[in-house]
Structure 1
Amino acid sequence: MSEPVARSAETFAEAEDALLSRWPETRLEPSLDRIRAFTELLGDPQRAYRSIHLTGTNGKTSTSRMIDTLLRALDLRTGRFTSPHVERMSERISIDGEPLDDEAFVRAFNDIAPYTHLVDDQEAHPLSFFEAIVGMAYAAFADAPVDVAVVEVGMGGSWDATNVIDADVAVVTPIAVDHTAYLGTTPAAIAQEKAGIIKPGAIAVVAQQPAEAMAVLTARAAEVGATLAREGLEFGVVDRQPAVGGQLVTLQGLRGRYDDLFLPLYGAHQAQNAVVALAAVEAFLSTDQPLSDEVVRAAFAEVTSPGRLEVIRRSPTIVLDAAHNPAGAEATAAALEDSFQFSPLIGVIGVMADKDHEGLLAAFEPLLEHVVVTQNSTARALPAEDLAAVAREVFGADRVSVVPRLADAIDEAAGRAESGSGDSLSSGAVLVTGSVVTVGEARTLLGGRK
């Protein structure tokens, strides 16, 4: 075979444009044929390191970031693949906890670009954007090289492009109903798809699940001879207390108990993510000894998760949260009640058209005094007027404003939060939510990138 030829990208924008010109993430053809052909041409880089693979409906990115931080605290070199990105595509591929800089991103793209066209020519469908960037991440991790890759699925599990990896540890975060057009309409059907990341001989670390989902995951583990570690049985959250800037958690891991750890993230769901991450790392290390208390304490204290109950601005306080389905919204709502005393709390909500926006609005309704309905800039966004029609049914017409442009929506909400602040014990705040894209655009507007 002659050496493939393709035009190299010279800038981040050129690499990004070339990737985005491929099939979008939302256009799916369930098959691993293309990604297998692609990684084979690349020399199967995903076999060059050990890995931890994560699936689930909510909590994957936060849990991935916690696992990454713990592994680095143990002096392991990490690669992390997460999706979608909040502000910038390069966030998806991190090495040693840092997203690829522009130069490294362009280099990683140019390394794989020639082979994308070979796959396009050989297969019935061209490589998608997601398949291309998964191959790019796996190759970049091998090139680094990393000791361990922490890999979050894009959607589902069995036929997700990331699933050409055979992970030592498979992590399943809480399963709820989402992406119904592709994954099914019940927790059991969705669990069937997500169970596909549990490989023969692996350890499956499973968060608490609906009973029907857990039955599917248990059956899969038995079928392939995987060891099962379950939240609430083999490990779990012992205690959690809200604290300034986050919470104090006591966690029972697989190997030991870790008392009064400070976690600078809000909500019971983040405590759950933390103990799942802890158990995943303990499982990965294959030792009977607990981790060093000092290492765990130091790692959790520095965890960040942009766009997940992130306080991005003060006066008035503006909180960003990427909840985009009812289960995520319920966890966020509970965390807001648990950790903050905002009065009034004004919502800025922009959603994708294919999501259960009525369920999401209903979860936030008890907390929000008023909602400013908006939309993000993508073609998949539900028009603000369409969302407003549903919002008026949930909130009542007098509690809903429609401001299609996101920057203006945030301004209106901030004005309402400031003018509505009453006694000195509480202050008004703004919650921007409904979609990772909405939150990412708001974060950029508010100067959030760090």
Structure 2
Amino acid sequence: MSKANRWLDSTRQNGMALGLANTYSMIQRLNLDFSSTKIIHVAGSNGKGSACSLMAASLTMSGISNLLFTSPHVSRIEERFRVDCKPISNELFQSMLEKIYKSATGEVGQESIQLTFFETTFLIAILCAIESKVEFIIIETGLGGRLDATRCIPAHACLLTSISCEHTDILGETLEQIASEKAAIARPNKPIVIRDMENESFKKAVIQQCENAGNESIGEIKSPATPHFVIIPDNYSIKDEAEILVQELFKILEIPCTNISQAKNRLRWPARMQIIETESNILLLDAAHNPSGLLRVIPELKENIERLTPLIDGKKNWTLIYGTSPQQNLTEMLDYVSRLCSPNPPNKICLTRPLGGRYPGVDTSILAQYKWPIDDVKEFENAEMVFEYLSKFEASDNGLIVSLGSLYLQGNILNYLGLDSDEELSILPKQS
């Protein structure tokens, strides 16, 4: 492992540090120039990854070069940086990491700047975009908006997806406070498309941020942003919501993409309602990571379970794998998982811990205390052990295998199955 890679690993110890000073100092030090590219910045509680990936897919299908920055990664770090929908090469990643490492640690004769892991990956994304000479950069916010590292760069337009009560210890205890934090991505004199929650206090908080757009600490001059509220029907899926929001944003920016619906149908967002066919079973992976996100996808999950589960002796067998990162309200999350299991419960429930996340996964002994709808509930240390256990049964007994919870758990499964090549991790698969 190189010195730069060891340093990158060490930045994980810096935890999460909300604030713009260090990232902005690095942008100044690296003398980054954004004049030749257009930037779209996206925030929200649920659906921001879907909106970002749909934009990237639509631009790519239209022959418009782009870099997509998202987090966390499912399988390997290069996924955080996709040029024209494919993860960047390890060579490009290493080259950009080396530049950040030398600049941040003072190897080029300057004072060192302490960066977090996320701040470092964000800076790598910007260097990759400039190196690749892309026309568009699509940036997904890490956490919140006002103090997220991604706020340090200019943007031609912003997008705010659905908002829910999450990270209340950091972003505020009310929906209005959280909405205000996220709406602070609004840039002076630029449009921001907003998923309208039809809640007057929410709208007031967002409008107030738009009227006071601009952060003087990073050289911006305060001036109002232009909000565009878009009403999304309650029964729309996250993908449908993304399509409507992206259409509105592209129309405002006059981006000549007429293929958004086609892009939505082609889009394969790893670990998000991903269907995988193996020699023995069909797997359905989804990484809805909080209660509101899981609630949104339950109808689609139920529809897929009904459609993909084989009928054997009058019964539809399916297996549930579940593992999660720490939750603000674990009981609420598990209640929604249980709701998914009604009225057709799985015949097996396998509880495990996701590996590789920022925080250790919730211990299976805690998950096992929940009143699950069936008796056959077993605990496993990791995803590999789950599949070793399932291999002892007939494929028909396992039925459809549904894995829910942490994005890292779905990444563990993709790695175990060997589905981690550039092509497998592309969000725009080749057409057959």
Aligned to 1:22: 11
> For the residues of structure 2 that align with 1:181 and 1:413, how far apart are their CA atoms?
39
- Which runs of 5 or more residues in structure 2 are unaligned? 214-223, 310-315, 425-432
Does the CA-based 8 Å contact 2:239-2:264 persist in structure 1?
no
Does the CA-based 8 Å contact 1:175-1:213 persist in structure 2?
no
CA displacement, residues 173-211 of structure 1 (integer Å, 9 cap, x when unaligned): 111122222222322121121111011111111124362
**Counterpart amino acid of 2:168?**
T
Does the CA-based 8 Å contact 1:16-1:89 persist in structure 2?
no
> For the residues of structure 1 that align with 2:153 and 2:402, how far apart are their CA atoms?
37
Does the CA-based 8 Å contact 2:7-2:101 persist in structure 1?
no
> For the residues of structure 2 that align with 1:179 and 1:223, how far apart are their CA atoms?
24
1:408 aligns with 2:385: yes
CA displacement, residues 125-151 of structure 1 (integer Å, 9 cap, x when unaligned): 711111111111112211221111000
Judged with a 3 Å threshold, the aligned counterparts in structure 2 of structure 1 residues 210 and 317 are, in CA distance, closer, same or farther, namely farther
Q: Give the alignment partner of residue 293 of structure 2, picking from 328, 339, 344.
A: 328
Does the CA-based 8 Å contact 2:66-2:135 persist in structure 1?
yes
Does the CA-based 8 Å contact 1:237-1:271 persist in structure 2?
no
> For the residues of structure 2 that align with 1:356 and 1:284, how far apart are their CA atoms?
39
Q: Where do residues 31-430 of structure 1 align in structure 2 (5 Å cutoff)? A: 31-118=19-106, 122=111, 126-209=114-197, 211=199, 212-224=201-213, 225-232=224-231, 268-285=237-254, 293=258, 295-314=259-278, 315-341=280-306, 342=309, 343-368=316-341, 369=345, 370-378=348-356, 380-389=360-369, 391=370, 393=371, 395=372, 398-412=375-389, 418-420=395-397, 428-430=399-401
1:436 aligns with 2:400: no
Judged with a 3 Å threshold, the aligned counterparts in structure 2 of structure 1 residues 205 and 415 are, in CA distance, closer, same or farther, namely farther
Offset, 1:329: 1.2
* Greater mean alpha carbon deviation, residues 194-203 or residues 360-369: 360-369
> For the residues of structure 2 that align with 1:24 and 1:214, how far apart are their CA atoms?
38
| Identity fraction in percent | 22
Does the CA-based 8 Å contact 1:319-1:431 persist in structure 2?
yes
Judged with a 3 Å threshold, the aligned counterparts in structure 2 of structure 1 residues 417 and 196 are, in CA distance, closer, same or farther, namely farther
> For the residues of structure 2 that align with 1:435 and 1:316, how far apart are their CA atoms?
21
> For the residues of structure 2 that align with 1:297 and 1:30, how far apart are their CA atoms?
36
Aligned to 1:244: none
Judged with a 3 Å threshold, the aligned counterparts in structure 2 of structure 1 residues 332 and 413 are, in CA distance, closer, same or farther, namely farther
Judged with a 3 Å threshold, the aligned counterparts in structure 2 of structure 1 residues 154 and 308 are, in CA distance, closer, same or farther, namely same
Bigger relative contact order, structure 1 or 2 (CA pairs below 8 A, ≥6 apart): 2
- 1:198 alignment partner, SS class: coil
Offset, 1:22: 0.8
TM-score (norm 2): 0.83
> For the residues of structure 1 that align with 2:203 and 2:394, how far apart are their CA atoms?
42
Aligned residues: 393
**Counterpart amino acid of 1:170?**
C
- Which runs of 5 or more residues in structure 1 are unaligned? 1-8, 241-266, 422-427
- 2:67 alignment partner, SS class: strand
Which consecutive segments of 4 or more residues in structure 1 shift more than 4 A?
119-123, 411-421
Offset, 1:17: 3.8
- 1:312 alignment partner, SS class: strand
Judged with a 3 Å threshold, the aligned counterparts in structure 2 of structure 1 residues 121 and 82 are, in CA distance, closer, same or farther, namely same
Offset, 1:419: 5.0
- 1:193 alignment partner, SS class: helix
> For the residues of structure 2 that align with 1:90 and 1:101, how far apart are their CA atoms?
7
> For the residues of structure 2 that align with 1:78 and 1:406, how far apart are their CA atoms?
34
- 2:142 alignment partner, SS class: coil
Does the CA-based 8 Å contact 1:47-1:165 persist in structure 2?
no
Judged with a 3 Å threshold, the aligned counterparts in structure 2 of structure 1 residues 432 and 340 are, in CA distance, closer, same or farther, namely closer
> For the residues of structure 2 that align with 1:44 and 1:183, how far apart are their CA atoms?
29
TM-score (norm 1): 0.80
> For the residues of structure 2 that align with 1:331 and 1:324, how far apart are their CA atoms?
11
**Counterpart amino acid of 2:161?**
T
Aligned to 1:260: none
CA displacement, residues 366-400 of structure 1 (integer Å, 9 cap, x when unaligned): 223242111022452111112222x2x3x257253
Offset, 1:122: 4.4
- 1:79 alignment partner, SS class: strand
**Counterpart amino acid of 1:447?**
G
**Counterpart amino acid of 2:39?**
S
Offset, 1:100: 0.9
CA displacement, residues 380-425 of structure 1 (integer Å, 9 cap, x when unaligned): 2111112222x2x3x257253222232222454677794557xxxx
Offset, 1:167: 1.1
Judged with a 3 Å threshold, the aligned counterparts in structure 2 of structure 1 residues 105 and 216 are, in CA distance, closer, same or farther, namely same
- 1:398 alignment partner, SS class: coil
- 2:350 alignment partner, SS class: strand
Does the CA-based 8 Å contact 2:268-2:274 persist in structure 1?
no
Does the CA-based 8 Å contact 1:86-1:436 persist in structure 2?
yes
CA displacement, residues 209-228 of structure 1 (integer Å, 9 cap, x when unaligned): 36243332122223332222
Aligned to 2:430: none
> For the residues of structure 1 that align with 2:295 and 2:91, how far apart are their CA atoms?
40
Judged with a 3 Å threshold, the aligned counterparts in structure 2 of structure 1 residues 168 and 363 are, in CA distance, closer, same or farther, namely same
CA displacement, residues 5-49 of structure 1 (integer Å, 9 cap, x when unaligned): xxxx76xxx654431211458x22322110011010111344542
> For the residues of structure 2 that align with 1:382 and 1:116, how far apart are their CA atoms?
34
> For the residues of structure 2 that align with 1:121 and 1:353, how far apart are their CA atoms?
39
> For the residues of structure 2 that align with 1:407 and 1:136, how far apart are their CA atoms?
32
Judged with a 3 Å threshold, the aligned counterparts in structure 2 of structure 1 residues 415 and 52 are, in CA distance, closer, same or farther, namely farther
* RMSD, matched Cα: 2.7
